Amino acid sequence: VYQQIRDRLQHLITSGALVPGDRLPSIRSLAQSLQVNKLTVMEAYDLLTAAGLVTARQGSGYFVDLLSPTPASLTSRFSPTQDVVLWETQGSPFFRYYSQYVQAQYQAGFIDLSCAYPQQLPDNLSRITRRVAGLNESLHHYDLAQGLPRLRQQIASFLVQIGLEVSPEHLMVTTGSMQGLSLVLRYFLQPGDWVVVESPTFSGMLAILEQLQVRIIGIPMDANGMNLELLAQYLHSHRPKLIYTISTLHNPTGITTSLSHRQALIQLAQHYKCPILEDNVYEGLHADPAPPPLKSLDANVFYVGSFSKTLQPGLRVGYIAVPSQHFPALLEQKLLQDLHSPTLPQAIVGEYLATGHYRRHLQRLRTMLKCHRNAMLQALSTYFPADARWTMPAGGMFLWVQLPNRFAGVLAAVHQQAVDAKILYTEGSLCFPARQGYPAIRLSFGNESPDLMEKGVAGLGEILARLAPPSTNAAD
Ligand SMILES: Cc1ncc(COP(=O)(O)O)c(C=O)c1O
């Protein structure tokens, strides 16, 4: 019943019947008119609050959140056209980008719209860190290569909640998900092999693939995910050794694929006997439940996760759910790399999960991110060129802006002027294999307050308008 009430009110808000600032009926009056218990209405209001649609004001009741998106800004007009990219070159810009980004963090005064993790400090994490560090002598020893049993147990319980059943025996804790990705790639790939990635994709992945001297097939992303018709063609013609995909809250586009897209992708991979590496480090930040991961549809998928995006990247705690037949060989590789990931961060995360803090923290984080996303959407529709298009992610912390073609020649100047104006964002070209793609930028709403975000988006909008004003020429 409470879900029905939530759905009804949600519909009223998203259809525009209730607008930001409108007051909702009091709990007592709604309970009376619907002939339900007050607790039922409270439960529905709690869900709406957690979804960022409603705010409670002490003593005055519940109101439609001021940052709830208007129906118009909820529609994504993202629809790029792009060719498949085949890449055999070398020289990744990832290292330069990463170093610049970390250095910028140490400088004050920047509006950071490039940050890839939320800046919200998890409640109680410091307390738990002190407790775990003080008490646990066993953490000072060498430990299991696959990671602490308690943490793996907790990760397994978390994964069940998102529809993925994995035994703790088949989970391997890694030093950030970056190590997990690297281990799986090194396990499958030899120089010269073909690998499928989405185009655009995570720039760190492109850097590892570069280092391995493999050849990349960049399959274009449209609003639904990787173009599966093109994928089928290239699976047939190039026989790649691996498909790398981010199915939930894709970096950089923020897109989450549907269940039917996932099923079709699995079918193709099975048909061509091509393993899948699924990288869902943003999974916990999906606002409503996302479709279950690809791995839940096929146990042969390698699934990579992380606590960098939901707790703290400095902990460097990630994990892989490994298909059972590959576990021993991959564990040996992990052992030879670093024996095991540091035990103290593993114990901290394990304790944080076990005490229920993580679940509550995720709820708060998702609500905060949703408000921030809505604020960014509003700012984009106010300050960005009318012919720019952007994605509408169902959570996470990025959105992807596709700029009109007239920006193709001025992207470096846009970036330089933004840095001069102390605004950071991620250059879209970093995310395209061979840097071949349409003009685009990735904007993060995970870091700054809505006010600063608006200031940053307004500043960028000004730079864009200055460097490539809309032409009157219809060919643009
Ligand atoms: C898609 C994706 N995978 C993996 C990583 C690496 O994260 P970490 O090694 O901190 O877990 C990132 C970081 O930005 C990412 O965006």
Which band of pLDDT confidence, cut at 50, 70 and 90, is reported for residue 124? confident
Mean pLDDT of all residues in 443-453: 92
Burial class (CB in 10 A: 0-12, 13-18, 19+), 28: exposed
Lookup: tokens for 228: 């599966």
Rounded Cα distance, 97 and 430, in Å: 9
pLDDT at res. 266: 98
Question: What pTM was computed for the model?
Answer: 0.83
313 CB within 6 A, ligand 1:
yes
Which band of pLDDT confidence, cut at 50, 70 and 90, is reported for residue 37? very high
What CA dihedral angle connects 370, 265, 402 and 460, to 10 degrees?
40
What percent of the chain stands above pLDDT 90? 67
* Ligand 1: centre distance to CA 173 (Å): 14
176 CB within 6 A, ligand 1:
yes
Higher local confidence (pLDDT), 295 or 20: 295
Which band of pLDDT confidence, cut at 50, 70 and 90, is reported for residue 119? confident
Q: Residue 416: is its pLDDT beyond 60?
A: yes
Region of poorest pLDDT, from 129-133, 272-276, 354-358, 421-425: 129-133
318 CB within 6 A, ligand 1:
yes
Which band of pLDDT confidence, cut at 50, 70 and 90, is reported for residue 13? confident
Higher local confidence (pLDDT), 165 or 289: 165
306 CB within 6 A, ligand 1:
yes
Q: What is the mean pLDDT of the chain?
A: 90
Question: What's 395's DSSP letter?
Answer: B
Burial class (CB in 10 A: 0-12, 13-18, 19+), 155: buried
* pLDDT digit string, tens, across residues 59-71: 888 988 866 666 5
* Ligand 1: centre distance to CA 291 (Å): 21
Residue bearing tokens 């803090």: 357
171 CB within 6 A, ligand 1:
no
Question: Which residue's C-alpha comes closest to atom 14 of ligand 1?
Answer: 116
* Beta-bridge mates of residue 167: none
Mean pLDDT of all residues in 279-301: 95
pLDDT at res. 89: 56
Question: Which residue's C-alpha comes closest to atom 13 of ligand 1?
Answer: 116
Q: Residue 476: is its pLDDT beyond 50?
A: no
Q: Which of 162, 373, 169 minimizes the C-alpha distance to 247?
A: 162
